[in-house]
Amino acid sequence: MAEQDNTPSLANPGPLGLVGFGLTTVLLSLINAGLLPAGGEPVVIPLALAYGGLIQLIAGLLEYRTGNTFGMVAFLSYGAFWWWFALMLLLGDNGLLDLSKAGSTIGVALVLWGVFTFYMWIATFKLSKALWFVFLTLWVTFLLLGVAAAAGMPALHVLGGYLGIVCGASAMYTSFGEVTNATFGRAVVPLGAR
């Protein structure tokens, strides 16, 4: 008689991290695109800390538990990105961090996030087409926003905002697909499996 495996199955933390990233990205990108007022950034700060940041950090730690190196690196990194972004705005707007002489440094930081995202995008070539698209649009978004900030090109900032909306919405779609497909136990929402 074969021994029964009583190891509990683990839930996939990916959809949680994706929706935390996607929802926060869509809201900030609506501001970057000029579709919501710039004065709405204070609404993004707590969302970035709680949902974009904390939830992705939790998802990244859970991905470690499942042995998913890609998910762990992605969610822990982008969770930390949202904490960096929120703290920079929060501390800068309250005079605790002097950003007046930062010059192009913020733009270069965003370009570096684009470089990191580019190499994460390369890793998605073995994953679903939906994730491939999320990371493609994200590294280009970072590049546009970074060059816009470093070179003072507001048109690129707006373009980055529009692409960020597409990126965040595609992350939310991917989360929706992963949750729905897991719930139904079959592919209901197409994600372009490889």
Q: Tens digit of pLDDT for each residue in 91-141?
A: 988 888 888 888 899 999 999 999 999 999 999 999 999 999 999 999 999
Asked if the model's pLDDT at residue 8 lies above 80, the reply is: no
Neighbours of 140 (CB within 10 A): 20
- pTM to 2 decimal places: 0.93
Q: What is the dihedral of CA 61, 88, 108, 172, to 10 degrees?
A: 50
- What pLDDT is stored for residue 100 in this prediction? 87
Phi and psi at residue 54, in whole multiples of 5°? -60, -45
Q: 31 near 41, Cβ under 8 Å?
A: yes
- The domain ranges of the chain are 14-96+103-180
DSSP conformation class of 185: T
Dihedral angle computed from the Cα positions of residues 179, 72, 25 and 45, in that order, rounded to the nearest 10 degrees: 120
